Every structure is written in structure tokens, then in C-alpha cells.
Amino acid sequence: MSKETAKNQVSRSIVRRLILGRGKNAMISRQELIRYSKLNPRTVDSYVAELEERGVISRETVSSGPGRPETYYRSTNVPVLFLGVHVYSREAWVMATDIDQHPYFMDKLPINLEDHNSTWHVNRLMALVDRLFSLFPSYRLLGIGMSYHHYRGGLKTKKLFQELGKALTQRYPAPINQMEAADVMLLSYCRVFLFPHQQSLNLALLNPSDNAYLGLRLDGMSKLFAQRTNSQQKKMLEGILTHDMVVNRFRELTGNKDIKEIHEYREAVFRGDPAARQLSREEAERLAAAIIRLQKHYKLDVIYLTNIISETHCRIQEIIRKTPGLENFQVLRLREFSIIHYLTGACEVALDVSCGCFVNELTGN
């Protein structure tokens, strides 16, 4: 399996969207592809050949007078879908979108691995996917993206995740990429918001919620699902306060045992409560220490934070700016993610993998 650079992945995506995103009967010439994509002719020809081989585009040669005939490309009018799957310990969600990320269907099934084994659940999930795709018999599945919460799953859920991936590729011959949830969100964010020349940056996404979730893109590449070194990452994430730890600490500082939810602490911070503001400083100091470790180890250019409030973010930035050598290091805050974000992110991964970009080998490791 060959690895590609982030630049190649983005270039493939640009060419694919230029042709397939123009409508059913619209044509685009080879010269237009070269001009709009800003890629060299050999690269454009290579990526177009892959789409032709998959049967989703066709070429026509048009003569418009003396001189060399022009080559045009168009969609073969075979409608395509991209499947996103998000799995964690209690539920599995599936969603399919078109090339413009418009959803065609979305559904979920509960998971209980104490009562039934992974094979039983995989069979039910495959039946659900088959039923949903039967509603669109003329559509071709072009890519599969799968998102998995490592810390919210465990070994049994991981086994289900991998078995489901194998079952999907056996039933539907499409490229697949399996990724951890934080990696999915980071890749999706990069695809939407970063310019192509920024795609090779070393990036991380840190989400301190029910656990500390870390997403990484190093040299523009996401790590393969089976190759994540979680034990090493756990050491660098030591000390980060999860939501439960924050709530427990807030109870301790206030003496109020009735506090149960993270939003109660956050509302108290906005009110200027002294105990809450003290805890915000503690939360920021621990996160900043982990960020410094991550930056030094992975040589990060940018780190994105989610699931933190603005006051904590400002304190982290202040600490980082005072750290020698990190005065200009960027620590940016993103919105919180929901199930729909993970699903659309997984569909974006499916779209990205559809031309053979960094296809993961499914392993049982």
C-alpha cells in the first residue's frame, strides 16, 4: 500500500470535484482542468485516468475547426454516494451523502456487547445498510469512511468496528478508511478550512471531555487506525482534567455536593465565581502542560482545542506565549462536536478515500 502526501490527496479531490460537481450533463475540457486545478498536465491525466477506470466519468474528443482536437470529460451520469459510519460503545450510526455532502439517509442501531457478540451486531448493521442502499438501486458507492471513539469503546467495540469494516468492503467493493474520531474531525476540518499549501502542516486536535481525545496529522498524513500508539499518547496527555474530574473538583472547591454537570461549572465561570475561576486556571495549566509536551514531541505547527470555554482558552494562550520558543505557536479553539459532525466527517473521509487516497488495510491488530 503506497502512502501519498497531503498535497496529492488535495489535488485528487480538486480534480474529482471539478468534474463530478458540475452537474449531470456538464462537460469540462482537459485544458480547463489544468487551468482551474493549477496542476501540471501529467498529474491531471493520472487522476482523470483513475476516475475513468472507476467508471464514473467518460471522455469525448471534440474538433472545433483546424488544429488539435480538444478532450472533454463529463460524469457518466452514474449517481454516486459516500458512506460514513460512526461507532462507539452504545450506538452505531450510518449516513450516506453525495459529492456535495448532501445527506441521502441517516440511521442508527443500539449496541450492547454484553448481551450479543460482535458478529450478531455486524449482521444487524449490514442489514440496515443493505436496506438503506436498496432505496437507491441506481447509485454507486464510491467510498467508505469509518469513525471510532477509542476511549468510549474498548476492545469488544474495536473488534466490532473492524469486523464491520471487513463486512462492508466484502459487500460493497469501495475503498475504505477507518480512523479514530478525533482524527476524522481533524481531517474534515483541514479539508474544509485549510488552503492546499497548508495541508502539510503538523496538526493536532485535543478534545478534553469524558476522556482526552487526540487527533494527529503529521506531515499532512493521518495515522492508520491500527498503528496508533495510544500508550505513548496517554503519557503526554497525563494530568488533563476530564469533565468528571472537573465536576468533582468543583464540588470539592465549593463544598456543594449537588453539582452534577459540567455546564454548572462553566456557567459559574461566566458569572465570575471565585472557585470556578480558580478551577479554570487549574484546567488551563494542565492543558497547557500537555500541549507543550505534544508540540515538542510531534513538532506541531498548530493545535486545535474543542470542548473548552473561552476563558480557559485565553489562559492557555497566555501560558503558551510565555513559554520560551513557543511565543508564536498557535492554539486555536473549535466548536464542540456532535454525532452529526462525526458522521459528516466520516462521509468526508469516504469522499477523500474514493480515489484511492491513503486506503487503510483492515487488520485485527
User: Distance between terminal CA atoms of the chain?
Assistant: 17
Domain boundaries, the chain: 6-75, 80-174+342-353, 191-334
pTM: 0.68
Range of weakest confidence among 75-84, 169-178, 355-364: 355-364
pLDDT band at 335 (very low <50, low <70, confident <90, very high): confident
Question: Looking at the predicted structure, is the pLDDT value of residue 364 above 50?
Answer: no
Reference 9, options 226, 228, 220; nearest CA is 220
Those residues whose C-beta lies under 8 Å from the C-beta of residue 122, and which sit 6 or more positions away, are: 160, 163, 164, 167
Q: Rounded mean pLDDT of the chain?
A: 82
| CATH fold for domain 80-174+342-353 | Nucleotidyltransferase; domain 5 (3.30.420)
Cell of 124: 444487524
Given this chain, do its domains 6-75 and 191-334 carry the same CATH topology? no
Contact 284, 333 (CB under 8 A): no
Options 3.30.420.40, 3.40.50.2300, 2.60.40.1180, 3.20.20.450; CATH for 191-334 is 3.30.420.40
pLDDT band at 225 (very low <50, low <70, confident <90, very high): low
At 110 the pLDDT is: 92
318-333 pLDDT, tens digit per residue, is: 999 999 999 889 999 9
| CB neighbour class for 285 (10 Å; exposed up to 12, middle 13-18, buried from 19) | middle
pLDDT band at 194 (very low <50, low <70, confident <90, very high): low
Task: Give the chain's radius of gyration (CA, Å).
Answer: 23
Question: Looking at the predicted structure, is the pLDDT value of residue 39 above 90?
Answer: no
114-151 pLDDT, tens digit per residue, is: 888 889 999 999 999 999 999 988 888 888 999 887 65
At 268 the pLDDT is: 95
Question: Looking at the predicted structure, is the pLDDT value of residue 244 above 80?
Answer: yes
6-75 in CATH: which number? 1.10.10.10
Q: Distance between CA atoms of 198 and 219, rounded to whole angstroms?
A: 10
